[in-house]
Amino acid sequence: MKTTSILNFRLFFIQPLFLLIVISLPGHLFAGVTRVEVEQRIDVLGGQSWADSGAYERIRGKVFFAFDPANPANAAITDLDLAPRNEQGLVEASADLLVFQPRDPARRRGVGWFEVSNRGGLASLGYFNRGEGGVLDPLEAEHFGDGLLFDQGLTVIWVGWQWDVPEEPVERLNLWVPHAENADGTAVTGLVRADWSVDAPTTLLGLSDRGHQPYPPSDINAPENVLTVRDSRAGERHVLPRSSWKFEFETRDSEETKIKGISLASGFVPGKIYELVYRGEKPPIVGLGLAAIRDLASYAKHDPGSEFPIDRAVAFGVSQTGRFLRHFLYQGFNADEEKRIAFDGMLIHTAGAGRGSFNHRFGQPSRDAQPYANFFYPTDLYPFTSTAQIDPITGRNEGLLEHVPKQLRPKTFFTNSGYEYWGRAASLIHTTPDGLNDVAPLENERIYHLSSAQHFWRPGFPTEDRRIEGANAYRLTPLNLLITLRALAVRLVEWVESGAQPPASAYPLVADGTLVSPTGVAFPELPGIIMPRLPHLAYRADYGPEWAQGIISHQPPDLGEAFPSLVPQVDGLGNEVAGLRGIELLAPLATYMPWSLRSGAPGGADHLISFLGTYIPLSLDDESRSANGDPRPSLQALYGNKDGFMHRVKLAADYLVTQGILLERDRDSMIALQGEHWDWMHTK
C-alpha cells in the first residue's frame, strides 16, 4: 500500500488548546494506518509532574486505516472480500483515539500500555491508577488517582475497536467500518438472534445488548422472524404467534426511522426467557476491530512519524476485552501485515475460558454468554488451553496458540477471579477437555487466580440494600482484587522490558485437590446460605456448516455435550485455598464468596447473578457466634482484639510485598483499610 506523505511533524503545546494536525504516513513505512488526526493536545493537570516521567500530555483524535484484502495477515477477517474498496483496492476504516504520554520524549519509557476499551470505556485509570472509575473524558485530578501508570513512564493508549458501542455518552471510543455488500451491490442478509431474561414487567425489549447498536431487520415480515418463550435456560422453546408481537421503530416527522426493539401486546412476563431470531441486513465488517488494534500497535512501534512512539507494546483487556485478546491470539492477529509481532505482552483479565463475537457475520461484540443472560452466543468455544488438547467427544486437537509461532507469542498473564471459575468456565484454560488432568501454561505465560474475588471491585463496605434476605450476608464483596492487579501490571512490564521473571503461576489444580467439581466444594453450612450447583457451562455448539467461514446459519445453535466446569476448593471459612491470596484472606474478617445466587428473582433463582460475589462477616465474639449458629471462628477467637488483628495484617502485607504481588507503595494504605474494616464491623 502506498500513500503520499502530506505532512509529517510533531508540535508540542504547553497551554490547553484545540487543534487539528493531520499526519499522512508513507505506505512503505506502515501499511495499516494511513493518517492520524490530532484534534486536541493538552497538558495533564496543568503540567503536573509524575515521578521521573515529568509532565504528561493528552492527545485526542482519530486514526484512519486501510486494509489490504490480499495480505495474508487479513485473511481471517470475515467478509473483508465483500467490503467496499477505495481506488487502491483497500478497505478503509477509522476510529477514536486517546493517548497519554510523557511530554518530554527523553522521559518516555518506550513501553506502550494499550487498553482494549471495554464497550468504548476507559478502565486502566481506575484499575491501575486508583482513579475514579467510569470516567470517559479524564481531565480532573480524581480521574488520575495516584498515577501508577504515569509514574512508570508508560505511554497509555486507547483506540476504538467496537462498531456497535452505545451512542451515548458520545465520549465512548468508536470504530467506523464499512458494511458487506454482494457483488451486485445488494445488501447481505442473514440470521440475527437476541434474547432476554425478563425480571420486571415490560412491553418493550431492545434488540441489542445493554444499549448497543442493533441490527435492523431486512424485512419485518420475513418468515425467519420467530419469537419464542421458555421457562428456563435449558427449557423447551414455545413459538409465539407472529400477530402477537411487532418490531418497534423510532419515529421522526411521522416516519419510522431507527429500530428500537420488539413489543408484545400482552406484555413480557417476568421470569420468562424470550428469544428472537430474525433476518437482518448490512452486516459491518466486525473483524476489522481486531486488525485496528493490531495495526495501531505496530504503527506506534515501527513508524518513525508516530505521534506516540514506543519500542514495546503491552495489551490489557478486562472481561469483554480480555476475551477479545484471547480471540486476537487464536486468530493470529499478533502478527502484523509485515509479519512482525504486534504485542510483546498481554494482561488478559477476567476473561475465563471465553472468546467472543468479534469476527463473524452479524457479530454482536457485547454478547457474552452470562450464567442467566445472553445464552449460547459464540463465546465459550474450544480450544481453551494454549497447547493443543484432544477433545474426546469431537476428536478435534487444537490449542489457542497452536498455530502461533513462538516468536509471535507475547508474554502473557491470564488473571481470573473466583467468579470466572463459577461464571466463565475458567478451569478450562488449564485442564484437559475431560476435566481429569491439569495442563501447564506455556513458558511465555503465567496463570494467576485472584482467590475468592468477584468479577470486579468497588470501594466501600456493604450497605443494607445489599443484604440477602434471611442471612447475615451481602451481595457485592469488598475484597480488593485490583490492588493485586496493580502489582502484576508492574511485574508484566518488567518481564516484557527486561526479562525479569514474574511470580510463579498460582491457580487451583486437579492434582492437589484444590480444583474440584461444584458438588465437591467443602463449604461450611451457614444459616440462610445456599451453595450453587449450576456453574456456567461451555457447550460443544453447532452454529452451522459455514461457521468456519464466520457465518452462522443455526440460530439458536444446536447444543452438544457440555465441557466440565471445575471450581476452586475452599478452607474452613469458605475462602478459596489456591491462587494469590490477598490480605483479606491471610487475615480474614469474613467469608468472601465469588458467587451469588439469583435468589428472589422471578426466574432462574438457582442460577448465578452475573459478576457479583457474596460477603459473610465473621461473628464478633463467641457468644454471638453461638447465637447465630455460625460454625466459623469468631474474630475474638482468631485475633483476641484489634491489636492482634492488625499484627496479623502487617505480617500479611510484608509477605505479599516480598512475593512481588503487593506494591510497597500500596502497603500502608492496605493495612489502614483493614483497620477501617475492623472498625466498621464493630460499629455497623
For the segment 558-594, what is each residue's pLDDT rounded down to a tens digit?
Answer: 999 999 999 999 999 999 999 999 999 999 999 999 9
Sequence-distant (≥ 6) Cβ neighbours of residue 170 within 8 angstroms: none
Sequence-distant (≥ 6) Cβ neighbours of residue 479 within 8 angstroms: 452, 453, 454, 457, 582, 584, 585, 592, 613, 615
Residue 275 and residue 193 in one domain = yes
pLDDT for res 31: 58
Residue 154 and residue 256 in one domain = no
Q: How far apart, in whole angstroms, are the C-alpha atoms of residue 329 and residue 110?
A: 23
What percent of the chain stands above pLDDT 90? 93
Identify the CA nearest to 311 among candidates 152, 484, 59, 497. Answer: 497
H or E, element range at 540:
strand 539-542
pLDDT for res 164: 96
Residue 54 and residue 203 in one domain = no
Q: How far apart, in whole angstroms, are the C-alpha atoms of residue 90 and residue 93?
A: 10
pLDDT tens digits, residue range 219-275?
A: 999 999 999 999 999 999 999 999 999 999 988 766 667 899 999 999 999 999 999
pLDDT mean over 167-178? 94
Q: Is 516 domain-assigned?
A: no
Distance set, CA 42 to CA 19, 149, 155, 611 (Å): 10, 18, 15, 37
Quickly tell me which residue has 495484617 as its cell.
Answer: 649
Q: Is 569 domain-assigned?
A: no
Residue 44 and residue 68 in one domain = yes
| Helix, strand, coil percent values for the chain (each to nearest 5) | 20, 25, 50
pLDDT tens digits, residue range 195-219?
A: 999 999 999 999 999 999 999 999 9
Q: CA quadruple 673, 679, 683, 684: dihedral positive or negative?
A: positive
Residue 17 and residue 53 in one domain = yes
Q: Is 497 domain-assigned?
A: no
pLDDT for res 252: 74
pLDDT for res 255: 66
Phi, psi of 431 (to 5 degrees): -135, 160
Domain count, the chain: 2
Q: How far apart, in whole angstroms, are the C-alpha atoms of residue 198 and residue 341?
A: 45
Q: Is 50 domain-assigned?
A: yes
Q: How far apart, in whole angstroms, are the C-alpha atoms of residue 604 and residue 423?
A: 14
Residue 160 and residue 215 in one domain = no
The mean pLDDT of the chain is: 94
Residue 263 and residue 275 in one domain = yes
Q: Exposed/middle/buried for 135, CB within 10 Å: 0-12, 13-18, 19+?
A: middle
pLDDT for res 11: 29
Structure letter (DSSP) for residue 74: G
- Whether residue 552 contacts residue 544, with contact meaning beta carbons closer than 8 Å, is answered with yes
Residue 80 and residue 150 in one domain = yes
Give me the domain span that covers residue 266.
189-281
Angular region, 580: left φ>0, alpha ψ -120 to 50, beta rest: beta
pLDDT of 640 higher than 90: yes
Sequence-distant (≥ 6) Cβ neighbours of residue 8 within 8 angstroms: 23, 24, 25, 305
pLDDT mean over 616-633? 96
pLDDT for res 181: 95
pLDDT tens digits, residue range 458-517?
A: 999 999 999 999 999 999 999 999 999 999 999 999 999 999 999 999 999 999 999 999
Q: How far apart, in whole angstroms, are the C-alpha atoms of residue 462 and residue 450?
A: 20
Residue 257 and residue 149 in one domain = no
- Whether residue 37 contacts residue 21, with contact meaning beta carbons closer than 8 Å, is answered with yes
Sequence-distant (≥ 6) Cβ neighbours of residue 52 within 8 angstroms: 107, 151, 153
pLDDT for res 14: 30
- Whether residue 318 contacts residue 126, with contact meaning beta carbons closer than 8 Å, is answered with no
pLDDT tens digits, residue range 338-355?
A: 999 999 999 999 999 999
pLDDT tens digits, residue range 104-156?
A: 999 999 999 999 999 999 999 999 999 999 999 999 999 999 999 999 999 99
pLDDT of 18 higher than 80: no
Q: Is 257 domain-assigned?
A: yes
Phi, psi of 635 (to 5 degrees): -65, -40
Sequence-distant (≥ 6) Cβ neighbours of residue 47 within 8 angstroms: 14, 55, 103
pLDDT for res 259: 92
pLDDT for res 37: 98
- Whether residue 273 contacts residue 236, with contact meaning beta carbons closer than 8 Å, is answered with no
Residue 154 and residue 272 in one domain = no
Quickly tell me which residue has 472468546 as its cell.
Answer: 355
Residue 193 and residue 175 in one domain = no
pLDDT mean over 522-539? 95
Q: Is 441 domain-assigned?
A: no
pLDDT of 6 higher than 80: no
Final residue of a domain: which of 309, 328, 354?
309
Which three cell numbers, joined as nine digits, stand for 326? 484471547
Q: How many other β-carbons are positioned within 10 Å of the β-carbon of residue 47?
A: 14
Q: Is 93 domain-assigned?
A: yes
pLDDT of 170 higher than 70: yes
Structure letter (DSSP) for residue 564: P
Three-class secondary structure of residue 117 per DSSP: coil
Which three cell numbers, joined as nine digits, stand for 412? 502473557
Q: Is 237 domain-assigned?
A: yes
Residue 263 and residue 301 in one domain = no
What percent of the chain stands above pLDDT 70? 95
pLDDT for res 494: 98
